[in-house]
Structure 1
């Protein structure tokens, strides 16, 4: 039972076609079988009964003959007008038992009808390729062989009817599928619009189709508008918060710089610098990439620039591998740059070597950042991607660590591009492998 659903088509068009075609084919088979069997068997039986009357008359004439010669003369005299070929005595090719094809349904009807009407019938052969029926009768003058055209007893095969039925079925199926396609296309467009919105692309969409599909389309547009309005309001609010926070921090930093330099002042300046960094990272996480538009970007060039900048800042960072067919990818370049910078920064903080690789496929772009550091245990990787999550004291911002937003920002960027961030073990360097996936 589990195998049967796998054989069914997965697309909406395929399933709709299956729902449309299967009933039509089933109805055609049932109607064709019932009609052909009942109608043509009935016609064959009636035609055979008419021929049986001629054969009965022929046998009566044979029986009236006093000698075999006279009987043969009487039979030949009436065989011509009745379109029968008579041999008395029977020839060597006269059948000795009933013979018909395995799938010759009308042949069975012919034999059964003749036996019911003609008790003197000894054998019937309906297998002749020339469509001749070969009969053998018993008479008082010996075996009588009669040959006649089968077309007199069986209805012609229903080729024209079958062709007409098949042509009509195909034509109606095509017409029905065309109408069905027009009804399914709005659903497909709605699914594509929702898929693009999940990847961060706001494509133009107008509700079309049936009333239910239009209602679903309008609900989707309302939902998309509410989400975009919420993101815009959040971004504007955080921009104002950023200005309000930076102003007192700048004044505080300026005041401390004018004071005589001692250990307390240095500690306060360090706290102010740390506060500025925390505010910047928090605003970067909260703002995300909402205000940036999707454009086609050369991913290799973008990542190469980030790797070069990280190398100039210190540490060994290399672009190791580029796999697949390189082509432009739709993305928000500033957001992806920020995500890759965060991943490389985390790798530099805990490892000495950092390698970045890219893998292109038809459905996604994967940017992997690997290091030779201690890595993250599998049971703590989900927690590591939560906002403000710090797994150990080495990640304490007061001791040079981050504020726990680097991986969260990268994961948020990946999700806004229809992808995901995965934390794995690096087989090449032995540390952590952070894989940023962007849908294409």
Structure 2
């Protein structure tokens, strides 16, 4: 329960969490030690100094009371006061007494000294406190003995200076520790940045550096990235090679069937050959999504408008709502165009018409494609974005068959852009089928 309450308050970054782990215990120890030192050491010194002064005051008061008259008492007090370095006199009355609370809030030892004086001198009737000095009045036989002296005589002065010194030293050492901690965190942050970029389809240069554990993690990441790249390359070559090799026998089959146009089975076989060639094209397109394309600044609105116009050129009902200009994002144009074409083809395959528009937010830009088909049930939307998953039975088998790669190609293209593909239900008038959203981040990844 306590962890859940404190979680929103604590920083989420590794750098500041490490800083808290380092500095919170150190700061707590410094404060506790400083306060304990002031309480034990300064209090003990103040009590000892106050006790010594109480003996002097008692001696002065005893000598004054032993004098036969006031004049003799005055002479005795002056003589002893010079010997002890005090200002002393016999006065008839004592002014109102001050309180220890009248001292500044940071003068902890001064307050303790005044309380110790009151405890050790029952004869004290009044005390006055001023800047760095104390005057007290003791009731005696010939009047009131007035003693004036510096507060430093009975109190260990400026105990707050240790707190100030501790704070200054803590700040200086904290700055040095922050610099050292930042240097130690930099390789980890660089590794996180490179790993995130690789997840978005970018291969950034990375040099192993930092502590032993960070170096081990960096080497493991480089080895993992190399294995993944080899695996992707082998898969791409396999798909490309198999698809290319299949074209030769399919071409021979098409040529042979074209010579048998009069046969009743020829037309059906030609349709099967055309379907196989379409499947091969989809395999090749899926393999091309792994190819690295240079990112350039691209007008997303113009790109979507061109793809919609190209799709509508064959007489298909494809509409684009927008001005056809902006926003400008850093994209892979060919990959983005293939993703939009796949969504348009998917919409026309399972519906009669398609509608495209762009939604702009403060942090994201979304390309929306809606159709008037049956849509996809919520429980089938996540599997529909996986490779080789077909939902023809759910969306109408009369529309033909496919390889189940259309939405997978779009999802891979969006991941390479640092975005995502979202599937939902369209609420646009006349387009109540599937709503596909290509969500892109502004300002790169």
* Bin of the TM-score, shorter chain as denominator length: 0.7 to 0.9
For 1:244 and 1:117, locate their aligned partners in 2 and report how far apart those are by CA, in whole Å: 109
| Residue of structure 2 in register with 1:105 after alignment | 108
The 5 A counterparts of 1:1-400 are 1=2, 2-79=4-81, 82-91=85-94, 93-95=95-97, 101=103, 103=105, 104-115=107-118, 117-125=120-128, 128-158=129-159, 160-261=161-262, 263-285=264-286, 287-298=287-298, 299-320=300-321, 326-329=327-330, 331-349=331-349, 350-359=351-360, 362=363, 364-386=364-386, 387-392=388-393, 395-396=396-397, 399-400=399-400
Cα offset, 1:438, TM superposition: 4.1
1:367-388 deviation line (CA, Å, top 9, x unaligned): 2212333322222322333424
Cα offset, 1:404, TM superposition: 3.0
Q: 1:23 to 1:269 in 2, by over 3 A?
A: same
Cα offset, 1:361, TM superposition: 5.1
Cα offset, 1:167, TM superposition: 2.4
**Residue ranges of structure 1 left out of the alignment (5+ in a row):** none
1:85-134 deviation line (CA, Å, top 9, x unaligned): 4342123x242877655955323432343345434234445xx3423323
Cα offset, 1:282, TM superposition: 3.0
Q: 1:97 to 1:342 in 2, by over 3 A?
A: closer
For 1:49 and 1:409, locate their aligned partners in 2 and report how far apart those are by CA, in whole Å: 89
1:118-159 deviation line (CA, Å, top 9, x unaligned): 34234445xx34233232322223443433321222222045
Q: What TM-score results when the alignment is normalised by the length of structure 2?
A: 0.87
Residues 324 and 360 of structure 1 are in contact (CA less than 8 Å); yes or no, is this contact kept in structure 2? Answer: no
| Residue of structure 1 in register with 2:439 after alignment | 437
Q: 1:182 to 1:393 in 2, by over 3 A?
A: closer
For 1:309 and 1:58, locate their aligned partners in 2 and report how far apart those are by CA, in whole Å: 112
For 1:249 and 1:231, locate their aligned partners in 2 and report how far apart those are by CA, in whole Å: 27
For 2:56 and 2:352, locate their aligned partners in 1 and report how far apart those are by CA, in whole Å: 106
Residues 63 and 71 of structure 1 are in contact (CA less than 8 Å); yes or no, is this contact kept in structure 2? Answer: yes
Cα offset, 1:46, TM superposition: 2.9
Cα offset, 1:269, TM superposition: 1.8
For 1:269 and 1:256, locate their aligned partners in 2 and report how far apart those are by CA, in whole Å: 7
Q: 1:86 to 1:319 in 2, by over 3 A?
A: farther
For 1:323 and 1:108, locate their aligned partners in 2 and report how far apart those are by CA, in whole Å: 79
Q: Which moved more, 1:42-51 or 1:215-224?
A: 42-51
Matched position secondary structure for 1:368: strand
Residues 343 and 434 of structure 1 are in contact (CA less than 8 Å); yes or no, is this contact kept in structure 2? Answer: yes
1:32-74 deviation line (CA, Å, top 9, x unaligned): 1122222222332233233323322321222023234443443
Matched position secondary structure for 1:31: helix
Matched position secondary structure for 1:144: strand
| Residue of structure 2 in register with 1:415 after alignment | 415
Residues 90 and 145 of structure 1 are in contact (CA less than 8 Å); yes or no, is this contact kept in structure 2? Answer: no
Q: What TM-score results when the alignment is normalised by the length of structure 1?
A: 0.88
Q: Which moved more, 1:427-436 or 1:6-15?
A: 427-436
How many residue pairs match? The answer is: 433
Cα offset, 1:403, TM superposition: 4.1
Q: Which moved more, 1:353-362 or 1:169-178?
A: 353-362
Q: Which moved more, 1:372-381 or 1:271-280?
A: 372-381
Q: Which moved more, 1:341-350 or 1:134-143?
A: 134-143
Cα offset, 1:12, TM superposition: 1.3
Residues 44 and 153 of structure 1 are in contact (CA less than 8 Å); yes or no, is this contact kept in structure 2? Answer: yes
Q: Which moved more, 1:222-231 or 1:305-314?
A: 305-314
Q: 1:158 to 1:365 in 2, by over 3 A?
A: same
| Residue of structure 1 in register with 2:424 after alignment | 424
Residues 365 and 438 of structure 1 are in contact (CA less than 8 Å); yes or no, is this contact kept in structure 2? Answer: yes
1:366-414 deviation line (CA, Å, top 9, x unaligned): 3221233332222232233342412437643x74454432122212322
Cα offset, 1:341, TM superposition: 0.8
Residues 301 and 325 of structure 2 are in contact (CA less than 8 Å); yes or no, is this contact kept in structure 1? Answer: no
Q: 1:175 to 1:96 in 2, by over 3 A?
A: closer
For 1:436 and 1:337, locate their aligned partners in 2 and report how far apart those are by CA, in whole Å: 12
Cα offset, 1:281, TM superposition: 1.5
